[in-house]
């Protein structure tokens, strides 16, 4: 397993997703594209704050889901008590650059049975997002 300082961000994430995330980190590092966990579990308040971004608060819109519908807010703890989504980014000066190998990342995630945000039609560009 890569020595990674952000693995604590997997605390509270569903164990199946944690295992898949560690595999993705190792695979992407082996391919020469090390990544890190940018975000794991969010509180409803954190989800609502992200939803407000680009709407009622400054910044770019980064989510189409507020914290009111937990079945859609997969970063928030679900009925089983775990978060069901994680966001990744690449290690380097531009962690979310669209020119990075996101397709390889997405293919690895999907091979492990995860849904990849890069396939979404409504929130294009959520390339670092994976969920169970």
Q: What is the CATH number of the domain that holds 89?
A: 3.30.1380.10
Question: Angle at CA 69, nearest 5°, toward 64 and 74?
Answer: 70
* Residue 33 included in any domain: yes
- Give mean pLDDT in consecutive 10-residue pieces for the chain, a chain of 132 residues: 75 98 96 96 94 93 85 92 97 94 98 96 85 97
* Residue 114 included in any domain: yes
* Residue 49 included in any domain: no
Q: Whole-angstrom Cα distance, residue 51 to residue 10? A: 21
Q: How confident is the model at residue 67, as a pLDDT?
A: 86
Q: Is the pTM of this model over 0.75?
A: yes
Report the number of distinct structural domains present in the chain. 1
CA distances from 87 to 33, 45, 56, 58 (A): 16, 18, 23, 21
Q: Which domain holds residue 30?
A: 7-41+77-131
Q: How confident is the model at residue 31, as a pLDDT?
A: 96
CA torsion angle 129 130 131 132 (round to 10): 170
């Amino acid at each position: 397993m890569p020595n990674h300082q952000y693995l604590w961000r997997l605390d509270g994430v569903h164990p199946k997703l944690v295992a898949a995330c560690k595999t993705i980190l190792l695979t992407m590092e082996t391919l020469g594209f090390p990544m890190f966990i940018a975000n794991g579990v969010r509180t409803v308040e954190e989800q609502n704050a992200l939803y407000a971004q680009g709407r009622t608060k400054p910044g770019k819109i980064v989510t189409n889901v507020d914290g009111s519908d937990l079945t859609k807010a997969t970063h928030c703890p679900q009925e089983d008590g775990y978060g069901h989504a994680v966001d990744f980014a690449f290690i380097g000066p531009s962690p979310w650059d669209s020119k990075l190998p996101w397709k390889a990342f997405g293919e690895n995630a999907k091979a492990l049975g995860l849904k990849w945000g890069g396939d979404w039609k409504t929130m294009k560009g959520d390339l670092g997002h994976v969920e169970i």
